[in-house]
Amino acid sequence: MKNLLITTFILLFSITRAQDSTSVFSIPKALKSVTPYGTIENVLSVSKTGFYISDFIPRVGLKGDWNISANGKYKMFTKIEFGLNLVRRDEYIKFSADPGTGKVSQTVFIRLGLIGVSTPFGNISIGRQWGVNYTLAGVIDDMYLGGGYAIGVYNAGTDGGISGTGRADQALKYEFISKKFYFGAQAQLRDISVNNQFFADSYGFASYYKFGILKLGASYNKVLDGVEYPTEVQAKINDELITGLIDFKFDNFHLGIMPEYFVNHEKTNIDTFYTGYGMEYSLRYNFGKNKKWRIVNNSYFLLPTDKNSKYMLNAYTVNLAYRFSDNTAVIAGFTYDNSTNHDGTKRENHIVGVGFYYNFNYPVP
C-alpha cells in the first residue's frame, strides 16, 4: 500500500511538472478552483404537540470550475453536497422547506453530486443535480422557516429525485442561459423498474424569458419507467407535471407565482397518488436602514381533480428576518396550516418559531 501511494505521488508530481507555463490545467490550479460552502440553521419551534428544536436543512459541499481551453471559453465544473441531520433524529411536525429531508434518519446524506462542462453553446452535466424544473420553482423556494414548498419539486414526500423534478437522480442535463433567455432539457438514465426504457426513463424541459422586470416561464416533466405499485425507489406510473411561472422583481420587491397541473405526482396523507392542480406564491420585501430587514410571505394549495375527495394541502407562512451580514441572519416566523386529510379532518399543524442562520460561501436567502 505504501509503495502504491509513493508511486501515485511521483506520477502526479511528474505530470504537474511536465506541463509548461501555457498549460490550461494542472492539479494545483484545479485544487485552488474548489470552494467549500455550507449553511447551518437551528430552529426553536412550538406547535400543538409542544416545543422542540430542529435543523433547517443544514448542508455542506464543495464546488469548483476550471478552464479546459486556452481561451477560457470551455470549462469543467463540479459540485458535491451533503445534507446533515444534526439535531433531528425522529420525524415530527417541523419547519422545513424541503419535505424530502424529513424521512431520512442518516446524520449525513447525499444531496448533490455532479460534474459537467460549460461551453459557449450551453452547459452539459451528469449526476445527481437540480432538475430543470427547479430553475423555475427555485424563485419561490426562498423562505427561511416553513413555506417555500416549491410545489411539484419535492413531490410525494420525497426530494424529487425519482421523478426528476427536484434533485434528480442519475440525470443528464443541458442548459442554455443568457441574460434574458433560459432553456433546459434533462433525462434520467437508470434501471429501477420493469418499465425501464432503453434511453430516457424520464425527461423534462423548462424555459423562461425576461421582459425587463417580468419573467415568464413554463416547465414539463414526464416519467416513463413508473409502475402501478412503486416502492420507495420507484416512480408512480404516468407521473407527469406541468408548471408555469410569473416572476416580478423590482428593486427590493419580489413576487413569484407558480401554477401547476399534475398526474400521479403527489400523494394524499394515506399514501394514495392522485391527479390534481395547485398554485404557490412568494412575496418578499426588503426594508429599513441598509435594507437589512426582510419580510417574506408564502402560500400554496394543492387540490385533487376528483370532486369527491376531501384532501387538500394549504398553508400560509410569514417570516421576518434581520440579516446582520451576507452570512448571518436571525428569523422569526409562523405557519398557519389549513390542510385537510382524506377523511375531511383538519390537520391544524400551526407552528411558531425562531431561528439562527449562518453560512459560508452560500448566500443568505
Give the H/E segment covering residue 332: strand 328-337
Does domain 24-360 bear CATH number 2.40.160.10?
A: yes
Render pLDDT for 297-356 as a digit per residue (tens, 0 to 9): 999 999 999 999 999 999 999 999 999 988 899 999 999 999 999 999 999 889 999 999
Phi and psi dihedrals of 233, rounded to 5?
Answer: -110, 20
Residue 1, number of CB atoms within 10 A of its CB: 5
**Torsion angle of alpha carbons 270, 105, 188, 272, nearest 10°?**
0
Q: What is the CA 323 to chain-centroid distance, rounded?
A: 22
Q: What pLDDT, on the 0 to 100 scale, is given for residue 10?
A: 41
Close Cβ partners of 80 (under 8 Å, ≥ 6 residues apart): 61, 62, 63, 112, 113
Render pLDDT for 23-72 as a digit per residue (tens, 0 to 9): 455 667 667 789 999 999 899 999 998 998 888 878 999 999 999 999 98
Residue with cell 460534474: 115
Average predicted confidence (pLDDT) for the chain: 88
Render pLDDT for 252-296 as a digit per residue (tens, 0 to 9): 999 999 999 999 999 999 999 999 999 999 999 999 989 999 999
Residue with cell 424563485: 139
C-alpha to C-alpha distances, 355 to 93, 124, 152, 157, 319, nearest whole angstrom: 16, 37, 26, 24, 10
Render pLDDT for 216-227 as a digit per residue (tens, 0 to 9): 999 999 999 999
Render pLDDT for 175-189 as a digit per residue (tens, 0 to 9): 999 999 999 999 999
Give the H/E segment covering residue 135: helix 132-137
Q: What is the CA 144 to chain-centroid distance, rounded?
A: 14
Q: How confident is the model at residue 96 (pLDDT cuts 50, 70, 90)?
A: low
Q: What pLDDT, on the 0 to 100 scale, is given for residue 100?
A: 47
Q: What pLDDT, on the 0 to 100 scale, is given for residue 94?
A: 52
CA–CA–CA angle 34, 39, 41 (5° rounding):
170
Give yes or no for residue 228 having a pLDDT over 90: yes
Q: What pLDDT, on the 0 to 100 scale, is given for residue 182?
A: 98
Within a 13 Å sphere around the CA of 70, how many CA atoms are in the beta-carbon half? 4
Give yes or no for residue 88 having a pLDDT over 90: no
